[in-house]
Amino acid sequence: MRVVSYHPRAEEFSWTFGGVPPVMKVEPGDIVELWTEDAFGGHVRGPDDVVSKVIQWPFVNPQTGPFFIEGAEPGDTLAVHFVSIEPSREWAASTTVPLFGALSSTTRTPSLQEPLPEVVWMYDVDRARRTVTYHAARGDWTVELPMDPMHGTVGVAPAAFEARSSLVPAEHGGNLDTPEMRAGTTCFLGVNVEGALFALGDGHCRQGEGELCGVAVEAAMDTVVLIDLIKGRVTLWPRLENDAYVMSAGSARPLEDAFRIAQWDLCTWLSEDYGLDRLDAYQLLTQVAESPVANVVDPNYTFVCKAPKRYLPAGPAYGGMHAVLKETAAVYRATKH
């Protein structure tokens, strides 16, 4: 277990998956301690910092990386285990963004109506209490919400020579915006280019399912990931595993296609690693799948569909990679204390 650290300088962030040279090489099995800036580039710090003033498009959602994974080749699968994700500041922010969000017309669903007003909500982050505090901006309601830190954006370089904005979720991962991307979870991503070119960012102290207005409780994060590689196994869409669930993430528009992709991929996965006939998997998922929508705001919408492992035949998935990484993570954590 090698531990490496990386803290990007201001000019080192990347704004796309693909089309960017790596910042660093890591070996399969390495633990990487890193820092990610928030999706606003740290520019929203108070109620007057509306996005149209403080952000210069397209410099939004900076990514830390990409990391070149030694030995990764197209046709392999990258496994990324989230060891820890911790907010690195005592505040976090959310806003409305003009022509963005599920209850607004957008550049893709345009209307002739006036856009919504730009409003900023600042959150207090209490790392000891594990909470973030919401304050109404146009009223006086204040409430503590449990912290549940996650990364909205996690991905590799896409296939077919493409480079995609860090705002886009798709087959390569990217801006999935799912609360399932939390510590203790392993994320499997298909490798499309040599070195995989893994990057991540867009930390959220928490978010609701669907990320309604398009902006979660955005925060810079101190994050530790454990990276590994499964040679010679193709993964078409991002998959996640934690102790209780195997999960597939489909990203598309309209939203029913994101759902179809995630469920189709789960059927395929249950067939590959659990030996179920695909129609039997279809039936079982009909009765047991949990389907927390991830985002209904990004250029593609994302659904994460989950199969509880307790209802599945003996696996394990990906040869037991999740259990192995979890154990290594425990060793690492023991070392740190």
C-alpha dist (Å) from residue 114 to 48, 110, 145, 288, 297: 20, 11, 32, 43, 19
Q: Which is nearer to a copy of itself, 278 or 333 (CB)?
A: 278
Q: Which is nearer to a copy of itself, 234 or 331 (CB)?
A: 234
Q: Which of residues 138-197 bind a copy of itself (CB under 8 A)?
A: 138-139, 141, 143, 145, 159-165
- Out of 19, 28, 184, 316, the residue judged to bind a copy of itself by CB under 8 A: 19
Q: What is the DSSP letter of 90?
A: S
Relative to beta strand 150-155, strand 198-204 is antiparallel
Q: Which of residues 204-233 bind a copy of itself (CB under 8 A)?
A: 206-217
As a whole number of angstroms, the distance between CA 81 and CA 154 comes to 11
Residue 17: strand pairing partners: 164
Q: Which is nearer to a copy of itself, 210 or 228 (CB)?
A: 210
* Number of residues engaging a copy of itself in binding (CB under 8 A): 90
11 counts as binding a copy of itself under rule CB under 8 A: no
C-alpha dist (Å) from residue 51 to 120, 218, 219: 9, 13, 15
Q: Which is nearer to a copy of itself, 243 or 277 (CB)?
A: 277
Q: Is residue 272 helix, strand or coil?
A: helix
- Out of 131, 185, 186, 263, the residue judged to bind a copy of itself by CB under 8 A: 263
As a whole number of angstroms, the distance between CA 337 and CA 329 comes to 13
As a whole number of angstroms, the distance between CA 250 and CA 229 comes to 22
Q: Which is nearer to a copy of itself, 26 or 93 (CB)?
A: 93
Stretch that binds a copy of itself, among 33-41, 80-88, 109-117, 324-332 (CB under 8 A): 109-117
For the CB of residue 34, give the shortest distance to a copy of itself in the complex, in Å.
Answer: 22
Q: Which is nearer to a copy of itself, 9 or 286 (CB)?
A: 286
Q: Which of residues 74-93 bind a copy of itself (CB under 8 A)?
A: none
Quote the strand ranges of 39-114, DSSP E. 63-69, 77-87, 91-95
Whether the bond between 66 and the residue before it is cis, its omega within 30 degrees of 0, is yes
For the window 112-141, what string marks contact with a copy of itself as x by the rule CB under 8 A? xxxxxx-x-x----------x-x-xxxx-x
Residue 31: phi, psi to the nearest 5? Answer: -100, 130
Q: Which of residues 274-303 bind a copy of itself (CB under 8 A)?
A: 275-280, 282-293, 296, 301, 303
